[in-house]
Amino acid sequence: MTWTLDKSRPICPQICEMICASVASGEFSAGEKLLSVREIALLAGVNPNTVQKSFEELERRGVIHSVRCSGWYVNENTSAAVEELASLRIKKTEDYLAEMAQLGCSSEEVIEYIKKCQGGTQ
């Protein structure tokens, strides 16, 4: 997976989102061992404390868990990650709709635009 971060947003939630997405999509499978905090910090070019904080947050949300002296693992039950991803998708869509509304565009018109753009790329 690639670690592309938006510097104008807190990094911690961004790492949480990326890991949730990878778990939900099956890129990280249930029970799989994650890379260490330091390895992810190096890959993403971020502070190890931030990665640690993200992992702890994901543990609270029931996506991953830590095993003493071994590292971090994806939970057997990935439903929490799927739910996180779903609510993230809803939020992103709401944000997009709000932006389009600012440009004077109704939801119906947005749907038209989406269809148009899809037509263009096909």
Partner 1 sequence: MNEILKCTGLSKRYGSVQALNRVDLTVERGKIIGILGPNGSGKTTLIKLINGLLTPTEGSILVGGEAPGVETKKIVSYLPDNSFLPSWMTAEQIIDLFCDFYEDFRPELAYEMLDRLGVSKTTRLKNLSKGNKEKVCLILVMSRNAQLYVLDEPIAAVDPATRDYVISTIINNYNPEASVLISTHIIADIEPVLDEAIFINRGEIVLHKTVDEIREEKGMSVDALFREVFKW
Q: Where does this chain bind partner 1 (CB under 8 A)?
A: 5, 7-12, 38, 41-42, 44-50
The DSSP letter of residue 33 is B
With respect to partner 1, which residue has the nearer C-beta, 1 or 86? Answer: 1
Least distance from C-beta 101 to partner 1, angstroms? 19
Least separation in angstroms between CB 68 and partner 1: 17
- Pairwise CA distance, residues 60 & 53, whole Å: 11
Nearer to partner 1, 45 or 104 (CB): 45
The residue (of 38 and 115) whose beta carbon lies closer to partner 1 is: 38
Q: Which two tokens stand for residue 53?
A: 């904080």
Q: How is 51-90 classified by DSSP, letter by letter?
A: HHHHHHHHHHTTSEEEETTTEEEE-S--HHHHHHHHHHHH
Q: From the CB of 38, what's the least distance to partner 1, in Å?
A: 7
User: Nearer Cβ to partner 1, position 12 or 23?
Assistant: 12
3-state secondary structure of 25: helix
Dihedral of CA 77/83/89/92: which sign?
A: negative
The CB-of-59 to partner 1 minimum distance in angstroms stands at: 18
